[in-house]
Amino acid sequence: MRRLPEAAATTAPASLPPRAHDGTPLDGMDPAFSRLVTAPESGSDDTSRTWHVLDNGARLAELGVTPVGTILCVHGNPTWSYVWRRLVSAATGAAADGAARAWRVVAVDQLEMGFSERTGVQRPLARRVADLGDLTDALGLDGPVVTLGHDWGGVVSLGWAVDHPEVLAGTMLLNTAIHQPEAYPIPAPLRLALAGPVLSAGTVTTPAFLETTLALAHPPLSAAVKAGYRAPYRGAERRGGIGGFVADIPVDASHESRPELDRIAESLRALTVPALMLWGPRDPIFSDRYLDDLVARLPHADVHRFEGAGHLVAEDVDYASAVLTWLDDQDAATPAAPPVLDVAQARPMWHQLDALRTSSETALVEMAPPSGPAPRVVSWRLLARRIDEIAAGLSRTGVSHGDRVSLLVPPGADLTAVLYACLRIGAVVVVADAGLGLRGMTRAVRGAQAQHVIGALPGLAAARALGWPGQKISTTVLPRATARALGVTSSLADIVDLGTHVLATETHGGATALPTAPVASDPAAILFTSGSTGPAKGVVYTHAQLCAVRDTLAAHYGIRVGTGLVAGFAPFALLGPALGTRSVTPDMDVTSPKTLTAPAVAAAAAAVDATVLFLSPAAIANVVTTADDLSKDDYTALAGVRTFLSAGAPVPEPLLAAVGRLMPDATPHTPYGMTEGLLMTDTTLDGIRAAALATDGALGAAGVCVGQPVDGVQVRISALDETGQATGTLTEESGVTGEIVVSAPHVKDRYDRLWLTERASRLVVAAPGAARTETGWHRTGDVGHIDADGRVWVEGRVAHVVVTADGVVTPVGVEQQVEGITAVGRAALVGIGPRGTQQLVVIVENPSAPRRAALADPELAAAVRAAVGSDVRQGRRIAAVLVVAQLPTDVRHNSKIDRARLAHWAEGVLSGGRMTAP
């Protein structure tokens, strides 16, 4: 066998227990778990190797606990079993606490690595897989075994997994790779490490490769943890394995380890055991490209991407809890899926397009600025034909069933046609609106891993600059040099021309040239949340669920074929063709709803003879402010509106009333929903006023009334406990404050590649009187209550609940009481200090205040305290009142107050920090 790069002679394992350079115990690692194991080397008659492992088996025996199986953990390069210390401790602690399912954890140090033997010879991939088998034979691991691997340890663990199907119960992976696509170079850091003179210098004679890896943690590792990773690699004579591992990377087909890597990669496709992938997307080595490949080979795997984590995901996040939770889930009975209205086969999203494809009536109108060209009017006939052409062209350009297509196209005819074309051929549309900002959109697009990007010039420029993946298609014909610079392969005009040719030459006897239509359970869209309470999440909808959204809207608001719809919110504009409406988006900057004016709304209403009008809450204030600019014709157009909708954030009653006066014959509605379920409850302006009377006229004292559930929706409350957590049994009882939980046919299918988030968001509850029947419920993250008349009230977000020494306080009711003070615009309630003894702080917005924040003057502070009351038993004593010129909001809605940011800011200010604006 070849010798390792500049390795010293064969050395025995280092002395145990492992210690840092100064002789102190290693941070976070119990030395009692360390042991040495001698294992005969397969293929040799008289050679044995000595391995160091972390093993909690003896501790479990002391506890009198019989494990249900073994987690076999394999580290990568240049780490060692220290990377698994938290899992060993967590599994042992769970067993000591009486967990129903106790796991033995065996974390190995591969030969040449950690505190295992230095053999002095190169151990290619096939040998390492065989080595691991030698060790498990010596340990007598007879199953069930679940493997867990990271980095190149992931490959070795998978090799063991496919070779031991008789004992394999599951497989788990942190960032790793099993296949290197020929079209892509290996990651730059590895290319550098493989360079001839660099290999030994960077990996063996100096600790550069080790130190570079340790620098990849987010947040940075402590000095003590770094010392733990360095412990077995002090001196070049102990780092030969690091260089050997790098040298074993199969850079091309001629590499000696390439056949073994290919064997393992292809064998994975036959694995049917449960699988889990926990991923750090900030990894400069194993990017999401490698996650995509693994998911393609193990499509049944549960996947969770920890936004912000990187290569050392085991250090960046609490992976140990995730692993043990997932293992517990594998023993639980699989719950029945939530109820799904399976209508997509009979009436798919393009049903009205098919029914109206010969009509010359207007399908949609694309508005232009007042000084620009005339509005563009698109008939049903043209829209249906264009969708067919784009669908046929996309399918011939490599867009296949199940492919993800990111749409970076402004609302209008192009976006509508492309979206329905994608739905028709079974592609999954990825919609992350520009309101997320470049950073948010980058996270969304990369996270969704779209294979194709269709965009206008600004979106394509951003995609190129930020390295977004996927084939690039432009909505307009670009100069050749520009297209080449942006990586654009074709334009939408090219796609249409190709599709026209396909439809003309490949359609015979009524048969279509389009691919087979998707089925109801196929994914249809990934819509990204606002990111107002953390990184935006991808929400997956199936075709059936999108159809259920369409039908719920149509039934509840009386929307039918020919209805004129003004959609000041892109998702509703995109639903227009599915509803059979004449739809239009007003002239506005879609990234800034506050740019919408009253004349623009009126012009849009006139263009389609609108009877239904939807505006986002952020847009309403400016529409009311610019109402004096309306002409007589504008008022006439708005007078035709019969239903006005605004949703996405609470709309104050005075503002809803003011915009309602612009449409005197309209009924103002404020639906309650979220990206995960677009219409859950609904109320009208009159309903809000009636609810205020029911609370003795104290508008907002109980939160925001969002009305009663619409048909097909069930709403329950999970009561808050004394710590502010929603732990109560689901109830419809009035007056119980807790998390709002919903169930409906049009609630999302799942979160995309966020297994932990999806698990936390879904409850499974046995239906009354049917012990075996279960229904899925979605936890909204909103806190509120149901009143005696069945109305739902929203009191804020669960994450924003304040826990004082006197009780739990929800923010919205307090905020709306404060907003009743004349000198106050908006208000936010936050808690500062340790949870359980938090102090209440109110931050009020006064646009005329100076840019620097300030403590409220005594008169305003007294008014705030008087408005809120000071009932200590309810924990509602206000510790401080601060004044700012503007409260920070999320970038998408421009209306949801960022309470988390305010709480952090207020704590700093009241601790003696500078009085700068939040």
Domain 333-542 homologous superfamily, CATH: ANL, N-terminal domain (3.40.50.12780)
Contact 578, 349 (CB under 8 A): yes
Q: Which has the closest alpha carbon to 235: 14, 465, 515?
A: 14
Q: Does the 801-918 domain belong in CATH 3.20.130.10?
A: no
For residue 872, the 8-state DSSP code is: G
Name, in order, each residue with C-beta under 8 angstroms of 591's C-beta and a sequence gap of 6 or more. 433, 434, 435
Q: What is the CATH number of domain 31-331?
A: 3.40.50.1820
Helices within 164-203 (DSSP H only): 188-194, 196-200
Q: Which has the closest alpha carbon to 147: 93, 87, 228, 213?
A: 87
Q: Does the 702-797 domain belong in CATH 3.30.70.20?
A: no
In terms of DSSP bridges, do strands 738-743 and 275-279 run parallel, antiparallel, or are they unpaired? unpaired
Query: How high is the pLDDT of residue 62?
Result: 96
Give per-residue pLDDT as tens, 280-310: 999 998 988 899 999 999 999 999 999 999 9
Cα–Cα distance measured from residue 507 to residue 211, given in angstroms and rounded to the nearest whole number: 62
Give the pair of three-digit tokens for residue 440: 């948010």
Contact 129, 111 (CB under 8 A): no
Contact 567, 576 (CB under 8 A): yes
Query: How high is the pLDDT of residue 10?
Result: 59
Q: What share of the chain is helix, strand, coil (3-state, %, to 5)?
A: 35, 20, 40
Give the pair of three-digit tokens for residue 214: 């340790």
- 313 CB neighbour count, 10 Å cutoff: 25
Angle 721-727-733 from CA coordinates, rounded to 5°: 85
One fold for both 702-797 and 801-918? Answer: no
Give per-residue pLDDT as tens, 617-661: 878 889 999 999 999 999 999 999 999 998 877 777 888 999 999
Query: How high is the pLDDT of residue 775?
Result: 53
Buried b (16+ CB within 10 A) or exposed e, 229-263: bbbbbeebebbbbbbbbbbbbbeeeebebbebbeb
Q: Which has the closest alpha carbon to 525: 441, 451, 429?
A: 429
Contact 102, 94 (CB under 8 A): yes
Total-model pTM = 0.89
Q: Give all strands (DSSP E) within 655-733, no chain letters.
A: 667-669, 672-674, 677-682, 704-709, 714-719
Query: How high is the pLDDT of residue 339?
Result: 44
Determine the 3-state secondary structure of 884 from DSSP: strand
Cα–Cα distance measured from residue 853 to residue 825, given in angstroms and rounded to the nearest whole number: 15
Domain ranges in the chain are 31-331, 333-542, 702-797, 801-918
Q: Which residues of the chain have pLDDT under 70?
A: 1-15, 181-199, 332-346, 433-438, 507-512, 531-534, 570, 590-591, 696-701, 764-775, 870-876, 890-895
Q: Which has the closest alpha carbon to 91: 112, 121, 71?
A: 71
Query: How high is the pLDDT of residue 534?
Result: 65
Bridge partners (DSSP) of residue 465 are none
Query: How high is the pLDDT of residue 871?
Result: 53
Helices within 539-580 (DSSP H only): 543-557, 570-579
Q: Is 662 left (phi over 0), alpha (psi -120 to 50) or beta?
A: alpha
Question: By CB neighbour count within 10 A (0-12 exposed, 13-18 middle, 19+ buried), where does 757 fall?
Answer: middle
Query: How high is the pLDDT of residue 886?
Result: 84
Amino acid type, 323: V
Query: How high is the pLDDT of residue 492?
Result: 96
Determine the 3-state secondary structure of 58 from DSSP: helix
Cα–Cα distance measured from residue 650 to residue 463, given in angstroms and rounded to the nearest whole number: 34
Q: Which has the closest alpha carbon to 570: 447, 416, 706?
A: 416
Query: How high is the pLDDT of residue 193?
Result: 57
